[in-house]
Amino acid sequence: MSFRDTYVVEPRNRVHLDDIDPAQTGKHGSETEARSTIAEDLARLTKLQYRLYAENERSLLIVLQAPDAGGKDGTVRHVFGALNPQGANVHAFKVPTAAEAAHDFLWRIHAATPAHGQITIFNRSHYEDVLVPRVHRTLPKETIAKRYDRINEFEKNLVQSGTVILKFYLHISPDEQLRRFEERLDDPRKQWKISDADYAEREHWNDYRKAFEDTFERTSTRRAPWFVIPANHKWFRNLAVARIVTDTLDDLDMKYPKPTVDLEEMRQRYHAALEKLGQA
């Protein structure tokens, strides 16, 4: 089975995260074994991005969600770092500003979606606006339910306008999260990432797990699927995400546009310029 078939959340299917081993690595035994495969997929991603840009008819939106220290930044760096920055954008959604909060919750999201030919990665996303209010009970259940409906409509509109949507949940264990917190404490290069919220939100681990499971069930669709990626091993996370993205782009069967000029005339002008250069 492909990575897409293995890790996709089927529409209206109830996923139980506790039943999915976040440390699994499929048939790949180690990072050393997988290194060449990851490199090949990243090279393929670079070529496919160029074709997407040239075709200029569709776009790609990647949604990354995970617990704190789940690897969103690492995925952006190690997978999507292979992209040409002229055709790619990463948008990290923080707490809404006063201006953003004065609009509907999708207002700031829509403005960040990719134009044709572009790839955009959401580091956190519109799903924060259902997950956090649900866990902290800052909105009525009825409002949250309506937001799920709004999200499905929003993503349907994007797909109908030519945007391909892939949504990834990076699945780590509580023990792995704590290990990564410790790593941040010990590594001066990562200490700036430490916040009070890390440990405060960890107290709500089970609530977030249930909220994510509901989110997958309500919003994983054929047009905008969720994938639950085992992410305790960073190298396997990178491998799985890269493969799913490249396979999806491959299936689009993107075509280079036809030339807008007379190629024979351009060749004649080239040879004339070359000849003139030789006479100079």
Average pLDDT of adjacent 10-residue blocks, the chain of 280 residues: 96 96 92 94 97 97 97 97 96 92 96 98 97 96 97 98 98 96 87 81 95 98 98 97 98 94 93 84
Domain ranges (residues) in the chain = 3-279
Supply the pLDDT for residue 200: 87
Supply the pLDDT for residue 280: 60
DSSP β-bridge partners for residue 61: 120, 165
Supply the pLDDT for residue 194: 79
Strands 226-230 and 8-9, sheet pairing: antiparallel
Kindly give the residue spans of alpha helices, DSSP state H, lying in the chain.
3-7, 31-55, 72-78, 98-101, 107-110, 128-136, 141-160, 174-186, 196-202, 205-219, 234-251, 263-279
User: What letter does residue 70 receive in the DSSP assignment?
Assistant: S
Q: Domain 3-279: give its CATH architecture.
A: 3-Layer(aba) Sandwich (3.40)
3-state DSSP call for residue 228?
A: strand
Supply the pLDDT for residue 193: 81
Task: Give the CA count within 13 Å in the CB-facing half-sphere of 58.
Answer: 22
Supply the pLDDT for residue 199: 83
